[in-house]
Amino acid sequence: MAKARARTVARKVKDKWKAKTWYNVLAPPSFDNVTVADALADSPDSLINRVTEVSLQDLTNDFRKSHIKLYFKIQKVEEGNAHTQFVGHTLTSDYLRRMVRRRKSKIDGVYDVTTRDEAIIRVKPFATTDKRVQNSQKKIVREAMKKTLYDEAKASTLSEFVKDILDGKTGSDIYKNCKTLYPVKRIEIYKTELLSPPTIMIEDKKPETEETEETKEPEKKEKKKAKKAEKEEVAESEPAIKEEIPEEKLQAEEKPKKKTKVKAKKPAKKAVKKETKSTTKKTTSKKAKKPAK
């Protein structure tokens, strides 16, 4: 009886892996909807609110940004694709350790910033110095960091603000403002956290470089066509020029003949000069002999 029960239990157990399916996890539109990872789940609902960790190097193929880790949360699933939203980023621990050394100060800050599309994001920057700093000087640097972050967040959307942070633009802006107050060595934003998603839909500004490139492409094509047409016209006119060249060559051949005649006459002039020299010598000799008589 026990063996029969075991067999019935074994028949009822199903393989859970066969029931699951693979889904493509896509990055947000600000990151060009690149495939981030593949997720395995029983149903689409079980994927929602999952968080995936990706290096920025995998998205941009830039080795210099391998120390940046991005976090994306799955919001919805459509036709086997899981769409995500940016949740935050951090820097690797080994990269942070290289920034801070002995006999140097590290100035941290935590600021909750609201963007133009009313998204709230927590930003955590830090600054490093060449030597120890007093608390009053740290306070001045923190106020400068706070002011620049608030101003940049109000003027840009969430995707633009995050892009500037990852590219290092906000860090360089904070560095410029802090350097006038105290000689800071370096500033990095080591962590961000999205506290609330954007509530207003605002289209991101397209970069001017893309527009200029799009306008330049048709102009380049037109210039290439014009150059090809000019080359064809030159190729058609070349045979007519070649036919006229023999007449010019004949005229050029006749001219050197005249020059050769002039060169032949020159030695005759030299002979005349020699004769005149000899006659002058004779006359001088005769004049010298007359007084002898």
The DSSP string of 45-67 is GGGTT-EEEEEHHHHH--GGGTT
In a domain, 267, yes or no: no
Cβ contact 74:47 at 8 Å: yes
Neighbouring CB atoms inside 10 A of 176's CB total: 13
The better pLDDT of the pair 254, 33 is held by: 33
Residue 270's pLDDT is: 46
Q: What is the pLDDT of residue 253?
A: 53
**In the listed set 64, 89, 114, which residue is the last one of a domain according to the structure?**
89
| Residue 98's CATH number | 3.30.479.30
Claim to verify: residue 96 and residue 192 sit in the same structural domain: yes
- Tell me whether residue 79 is in a domain: yes
Q: Which pLDDT belongs to residue 6?
A: 60
Domain count, the chain: 2
Q: Do both 196 and 102 map to the same domain? A: yes
76/137 same-domain check: no
Residue range of the domain that includes 68 = 19-89
223 falls within a domain: no
In a domain, 254, yes or no: no
Q: Considering 136, 171, 200, which residue would you say is the last residue of a domain? A: 200
In a domain, 220, yes or no: no
Q: What distance separates the 2 farthest-apart alpha carbons in the chain?
A: 179
Query: What is this structure's pTM?
Result: 0.64
Q: What is the pLDDT of residue 103?
A: 86
Pull the structure tokens for residue 12.
Answer: 């009822």
Indicate if the pLDDT at residue 214 is higher than 70: no
Asked whether residue 292 is domain-assigned, the answer is no
